[in-house]
Chains A and B, each alone.
Chain A
Amino acid sequence: SAVISQKPSRDICQRGTSLTIQCQVDSQVTMMFWYRQQPGQSLTLIATANQGSEATYESGFVIDKFPISRPNLTFSTLTVSNMSPEDSSIYLCSVGRDPGELFFGEGSRLTVL
């Protein structure tokens, strides 16, 4: 298993500002993932955070809006830039460990006013 800590657990932000979410894992992992969980919708993969290289973004997500850092094998950050109310969501960090299994942090609930 993996223990994943996310900060902040929740925040209320003003339109036009940016927020950085931190994800800390209790052991080294190769791949870390960032998901968005919008109310009443599926979890959607934003990007894969790779250590030592740029993140790989899914269709519909761009680096300018969601810059990601991965400075080492246990830590990653996701920034939500120039926020709008449409960015209100839960952002989840996850890691892959056993074949085909993801472990999730508790999520960061973001509300943009």
Chain B
Amino acid sequence: AQSVTQLDSQVPVFEEAPVELRCNYSSSVSVYLFWYVQYPNQGLQLLLKYLSGSTLVKGINGFEAEFNKSQTSFHLRKPSVHISDTAEYFCAVTPGGFNKFYFGSGTKLNVKP
């Protein structure tokens, strides 16, 4: 079975500071990994995904994530955040294809001026 853990439910940060949102997963098989963002009163939008290849993945809005197989992690980073990055971020895994996604509980990023 698969599971996803996002240890931080809320992350406050000042504008232009760097941020890292943590994601760990457990799975008995190889997985695809994703980060989604949800702005207030909107649906989820894909930020980035890891399917194979380079373990450092770059996404939209300046975000990147690194897949670490030995630590079963897929942490999301941004070197300098903006007020507009305030949203909830979800890490997700799927064991293959797109029929079953397992989501973390989400991390609310609050960027303060």
Interface residues of A (CB under 8 A from B): 4, 31, 40-45, 48, 92, 94, 96-97, 99-107
Binary CB contact string for chain B from 14 to 58 against chain A (1 if under 8 A, 0 otherwise): 000000000000000000101010000111111001010000000
Total inter-chain residue pairs, C-beta < 8 Å: 61
Which residues in A have their C-beta under 8 angstroms from that of B69? none
Stretch of B60-68, B70-78, B94-102 contacting A (4+ beta carbons < 8 Å): B94-102
Q: Known: A99-B51, A100-B49, A101-B49. Contact between A45 and B101, CB under 8 A?
A: yes
Contact A99–B98 (Cβ < 8 Å): yes
List 14 A-B pairs, Cβ < 8 Å: A31-B98, A31-B99, A41-B105, A42-B4, A43-B44, A45-B101, A96-B98, A99-B97, A100-B51, A101-B34, A101-B46, A101-B49, A102-B46, A102-B98
Q: Is the CB of A43 within 8 A of B90?
A: yes
Q: How many residues of B contact A (CB 8 A)?
A: 27
Q: Is the CB of A42 within 8 A of B51?
A: no
Footprint of A on B, CB under 8 Å?
4, 9, 32, 34, 36, 41-46, 49, 51, 90, 92, 94, 96-106
